[in-house]
Amino acid sequence: MKTSLKLLSTASVLTLGTGIAAFADGHADARCAAGELGLGDFAGQTVTIAGPWEGTDEELVNNVIDCFETSTGATVEYAGSGEFEQLIVTDVRAGSAPNIAVFPQPGLAADLAAEGGLVPLKQDIAGWMAENYGAGQSWADLGTYADENGQEQFYAFAYKADVKSLVWYKPETFEDAGYEVPETMEELIALSDQIVADGGTPWCLGIESGGATGWTATDWMEDIMLRTTSPENYDKWVTNDLAFNSDEVKAAMDVFGSIAKNDAYVAGGADSVASTFFGDSPKGLFTTPPQCFMHRQASFIPAFFPDKGEEVSEGEADFFYFPPFASNPDLGKPVLGGGTLWAMTNESDATHAFFEFLKQPVAHEIWMAQTGFLTPHKGVDTSAYANDSLRKMGEILAGADTFRFDASDLMPGAIGAGAFWTEMTAFTQGQDTATTADNIQSAWDAIK
């Protein structure tokens, strides 16, 4: 609450000079005025949306929705729930689905599409996305699933992205100790060794997350995969055309192990990795004295900082790009990310208009001016980002040589939300690389 308000007021000051109408106090952009967006008049119609955002985030998405309401006269009801994944399945099967469902992962959307629970979007949106999004075709592919007859259709509109390849740190702590932000993975390892030599602990790493324990470790694995092998191999790995116990995957796992299994590298020792809540681990950056100097986590993590991310806007905390290996120069600067996918679960004219609305830059810029929102949309005015830190993340996303979606979200549920999580957890607890890789591969063989 505190953070978002602060960001909002900053945003309105920043954007005044750039031709974007002030957006503050919930007053929508001038471009949202009735009829202004050319979406049509839907007065009296209601669009219901179910999604994963709650609490503060719910207010942020409602500000975007307000724009659509003002422009079209329609009423939009957003209902957020932490149990979104379970609720949407029940609702779709019971015939009480909302008009739009916002999926945090493509896997569930694909499952519902195969059941016939989703309504295909207008086909031209897929083409539009390929053209107007950075790494557009991969975003369009992300929303394309087989329907109940096995036919590929375009179902889900990617809106709101996360960048995962970030390492968080405190600039002043680095400055005090005389450390430089590393440009290559080799430098990052050297820096870690330097911190150990100076008597500190380089990394805060926690992968505990209740039933989803291990996902943080899978993100590490994916980021390292993109830095040790080609994007084509990454895609094959996602579909298991590259076996989990192949040398490429095991090499990436060894790199992760060299950090996560190193008692000197991680705060609390390697034993504590599996039992530390992922949201508590970044707090170690901010204790006095700090428990660690660096934390690799996605763009959403400032929500878990002690001041809920205010540290970032005040310059107390910052991030750098999780660097590539200098020894693999042809892999460029790969970026791992995620995003939410908006799909239609109940068709109506106003709902179709809402997807037209999501194509417009204003739908992106309103959330950009708040917090926690990145977009691969190339047509938006990046000065709308609420602060430099968000803009920097947006640029990492837009400037990626290679963008790949979180692999575990794309793998079948039994692997990506099952064996991959549990085996990586066992790996951090001391299980060796070969056993871990073999176990995941045999779990995959079992579901083929």
Residue 141 or 307 with smaller CB distance to other proteins? 307
- CB of 143 closer than 8 Å to CB of 198: no
Sites for other proteins among residues 46-75 (CB under 8 A): 46, 48, 50, 52-58
Stretch that binds other proteins, among 1-9, 11-19, 331-339, 378-386 (CB under 8 A): 1-9
Applying CB under 8 A, which of residues 16, 30, 34, 43 lies at the interface with other proteins? 43
| Tokens read off for 203 | 């990394």
Q: How far is CA 379 from the centre of its chain?
A: 20
Instruction: Choose the binding region for other proteins from 41-49, 155-163, 257-265, 323-331 (rule: CB under 8 A).
Output: 41-49
Q: Which of 10, 81, 132, 246 binds other proteins (CB under 8 A)?
A: 81
Sheet holding 295-296, edge to edge: 295-296, 166-169, 318-321
Angstrom distance (rounded) from CA 7 to CA 152? 41
Please give the C-alpha separations between residue 347 and each of 41, 353, 388, 435, 440, in angstroms, as whole numbers: 17, 11, 39, 48, 39
Interface residue with other proteins among 16, 34, 146, 177 (CB under 8 A) is 177
Site for other proteins in 186-215 (CB under 8 A): 200
For β-strands 166-169 and 318-321, DSSP reports them as antiparallel
The stretch among 14-22, 86-94, 358-366, 377-385 that binds other proteins (CB under 8 A) is: 86-94
Q: How far apart are CA 290 and CA 283, in angstroms?
A: 9
Beta strands 295-296 and 144-146, pairing class: unpaired
Applying CB under 8 A, among 231, 279, 332, 413 the residue interacting with other proteins is: 279
The only residue of 45, 144, 184, 262 in contact with other proteins, by rule CB under 8 A? 45
Q: What token pair was written down for 187?
A: 């430098």
# chain residues binding other proteins, by CB under 8 A? 50
If one asks whether residue 330 binds other proteins (CB under 8 A), the answer comes out as: no
**Is residue 5 involved in binding other proteins (CB under 8 A)?**
yes
Contact between 425 and other proteins by CB under 8 A: the answer reads no
Three-state SS for 80-107 is ECCCHHHHHHHHHHHCCCCCEEEECCHH
- Is residue 238 a contact partner of residue 415, using CB atoms and an 8 Å limit? no
State the minimum distance, in angstroms, from the CB of residue 406 to other proteins: 16
d(CA 67, CA 83): 27
| 91 is an interface residue for other proteins by CB under 8 A | yes
Q: Should residue 388 be labelled a site residue for other proteins when binding is judged by CB under 8 A?
A: no
Q: For other proteins, give the closer residue by CB, 249 or 386.
A: 386
Q: Does 281 bind other proteins (CB under 8 A)?
A: no
> Could you tell me which residues are beta bridge partners of residue 79?
50
Of positions 300, 382, 392, 422, contacts other proteins by CB under 8 A: 300
Q: Among candidates 144, 147, 81, which has minimal Cα distance to 117?
A: 147
Structure-token pair, residue 257? 């192990």
Residue 290's Cα: distance from chain center in Å? Answer: 27
Candidates 16, 30, 33, 79: give the one binding other proteins (CB under 8 A).
79
The least CB distance from residue 101 to other proteins, in Å, is 12
Q: Judged by CB, which is closer to other proteins: 173, or 389?
A: 173
**18, 30, 35, 93: which one contacts other proteins (CB under 8 A)?**
93
The nearest distance, CB 388 to other proteins, in angstroms, is: 17
Nearest-angstrom CA–CA distance, 345 and 96: 10
Instruction: Mark the segment that binds other proteins (CB under 8 A) among 256-264, 287-295, 355-363, 377-385.
Output: 287-295
Phi first, then psi: what are they for 354, rounded to 5°?
-65, -40
Alpha carbon distance 218, 92 (integer Å): 30
Contact yes or no for 436/444 (Cβ under 8 A)? no
Instruction: Pick between residue 46 and residue 137 the one whose CB is nearest to other proteins.
Output: 46
Min CB(177)–other proteins separation in Å: 7
Q: How far apart are CA 445 and CA 94, in angstroms?
A: 33
By CB under 8 A, is residue 82 in contact with other proteins?
yes
The residues of the shown chain that bind other proteins, judged by CB under 8 A, are 1-2, 5-6, 43-46, 48, 50, 52-58, 77, 79-83, 87, 90-91, 93-96, 98, 170, 172-173, 176-177, 200, 279, 283, 286-290, 300, 303-304, 306, 308, 316
